Structure 1
Amino acid sequence: MQPSPHDEKIWTVANAKAKLSEVIDRAQSAPQTITRNGKPSVVVVSVEEWQRKTVRRGTLVEFLMDSPLRSADLDLERQRDEPRDLSL
């Protein structure tokens, strides 16, 4: 069974411009991809989806503290080399 035009989730820029309201309506239930020159360029998603994907999950400190590398014996000493000569 072939997908119907109503299941379309990929739009050209021209088609998306002509049917912007429909792109927005469909983005409420599924991401809508807009292509430019035949290549995916942007994805339109609902505000709820955007908020769900961009919510912060803890702090950087928590991320580093939970890292499996925290207990690894890594040599993190900074090298004290002389600066490079950048003159031409």
Structure 2
Amino acid sequence: MPSWPVQDAKARFSEFLDACVADGPQVVTRRGVETAVLVPIERWRRLQAAARPSLKQLLMTDTARTETLTPERAKPRRRPGMPLR
């Protein structure tokens, strides 16, 4: 992936954005350290969709955790002096 120092990415943002759309993801560096990535929106949406499993997928897995789907019920409270039934 091509990398851009943050100063160049800021100064030439339009070119930076065009490179992303034409050539794919572009890395931004700060003081030589990779800091961020600019990706085309189509790729971002695919990554987002792949990262979030659906409820059906979660429930169908071997390690489905259904105990957290419904909250625990509170204990009933009695008024003082009321007889037990």
Quickly name the TM-score band, shorter chain normalised: 0.5 to 0.7
Structure 2 unaligned residues grouped into runs of 5+: 65-85
Q: Secondary structure at the match of 2:24?
A: coil
Please give the residue correspondences for 1:56-71 in structure 2 after superposition, counting only pairs within 5 Å.
Answer: 58-67=53-62, 69=63
Which residue of structure 2 lines up, in the alignment, with residue 9 of structure 1?
2
Percent identity over the alignment is 35
Tell me how far apart the structure 2 counterparts of residues 64 and 43 of structure 1 sit (CA, whole Å). 33
Q: Secondary structure at the match of 1:55?
A: helix
Q: Secondary structure at the match of 1:52?
A: helix
RMSD: 2.2
TM-score, normalised on structure 2?
0.60
Q: Which runs of 4+ in 1 moved over 6 A?
A: none
From 13, 17, 23, give the equivalent of 1:20.
13
Tell me how far apart the structure 1 counterparts of residues 28 and 38 of structure 2 sit (CA, whole Å). 8
TM-score, normalised on structure 1?
0.58
Q: Which structure is higher in helix share?
A: 2
